[in-house]
Structure 1
Amino acid sequence: MWLIATLLFVFFAVIDQNPMDVFVDPRLSQATKMRIETQFGYDQSIGVQYLLFLKGCVTGQLGMSFVYKQPVAQVLAPTMLRSLILGTISVTIAVLGCLAWLSVMARSKSYRAKWVPVILLVVPSLVWAVTTRWLLLTVFDWYPFASYTGGMFRWSIEAVIPALTLALPVSGYLALCLQARLDEMDHMPFVIAAWGRGASQQQILWRHKFRQLWPTAVQLLALHLPAIAGGSLVIECIFGFSGLGLLLVDAALGRDLPLLSAASLYVSALGLLGYELGNVFQRRQS
């Protein structure tokens, strides 16, 4: 995490244009400009700024937003919550879709059904989102816009369609990986013993195979968290969500470096958490 924070600081430090030149009125007096630079910490040397940045990463105090004129933590808190809800709904849909497909494949080894997760995987979330939005606008004359005016519960309901477009590739990825693992279990002794006792395909899947399969499923899902986090930023922009995706776009366009660095740290931390969880389950499984 320290390396990520350092790389972010170096990236923003090499930007030639001082953000103060963008947001400070040139008609202000020099004393006022110096006072504003002191408030945002741009009057310090690059080494002191780096130490202050690391301190802010540890304490969660990453300065004031240039655009919103509020502490970065206060600006990020509500948008992070909405993005987390969108990601949680997406993961839930992906897992349920994967389990439903595995259940269907346990009943009938259909050749056509095997292509379903392949199609879901190869088509990016961006294509699913744009196509879904176009169909809803042209066919149903309905724009799925989560305005966040009816409270968190209503916003969560409206987030189902964007979360679905985000979940489709993840569901296909999980289904293909887990189905390959299930096929390897067909010749294991505990499966053959269950067949000998007259167990059905569904009983073998859920009572026997899935006990051995769920650590792999959790590991794959944890390793896919960075892709879910990155995909949610694009989905939010397409559907007009007031989440972390739109906030990152506004921060980049407005050169809001404190807000942009804090949001980037959050996404990086989520990705790092996913990889660490995946490694933990991999060690336990081995």
Structure 2
Amino acid sequence: MLKQRIITAVLLLPLVACLLFLPNLMIFSAILVPVFGILAWEWSKLIQAGSVLRAVFIIMVLAAIGSLGYQLYSNQFFELAEIPQQWHQLYPFKLLLVALMIWVVAAVLVIVYPKGGRVLFRGPWLRALLGIAILAAAWLAIVLIRSFDIAQNYYTGSWMLLLMLFIIWGADVGAYFAGKNFGKRKLAPVVSPNKTWEGAIGGLILAVILGIVVSVALGLHFKWTQLVTFVVLMVILSVIGDLFESMLKRKAEIKDSSNILPGHGGLLDRLDSTLSVAPFYVAGVLWLKLLG
């Protein structure tokens, strides 16, 4: 299993690098659409509904993303590539605020599961609505991150996305090895029995180290205390995203969202943390820039 995971990761890294650095902002945004279509297909399995509702869900996710893309295009975002100063007051950026609130609720649901999940799992509709909002907001957040300071340096957003991925990957890899070698105390035994506090701490340490190293390498001028606080928050959010998907999979009685990535499962299994981190990452980077 570990060998398969490593081989798949090595093969995917060049594709990720090409996606981050080669296309312009509009093409990058368009390439993400089929990726999120796959994520929507995998999420549809978690809502425990018939094929018709699952198909409707996928169409609605793509329609929501298409609507966001049209709004960005209409406002000349792809030409100006600039996040408005009052972004939190404007559509479609308000969706990020909705996503922030959704993930706060998701964290509470994970903590109180299974008692608190009764409303969530009463029918497929709430899980479908959450999926539409979460996936659409994540697409928007990733596009916004790619646009960071693009007028001054075309690749700033690419490096910022890479920093986000390194934080998430560091948390994941550190948790895997620390949990496997030192894990004893269960982190969330009802939701995900294999996750441990030792693994979470190991992931946090590696993510902080990678976050600092990559930030220094990129020449980002953030105070180290602010940067460490930022990375710690992103790691906590990555764990929440992972546990939330695990909770949905446990209720749906499936191990992986799909098997398209050998050794990793589905795209959703690999990007669940990205979905939770990306909206907060946008807000966090803007916060760091304000402080800086």
Give the structure-2-normalised TM-score.
0.34
Highest RCO, 1 vs 2 (Cα 8 Å, sep ≥ 6): 1
Structure exhibiting the larger radius of gyration computed from Cα positions: 1
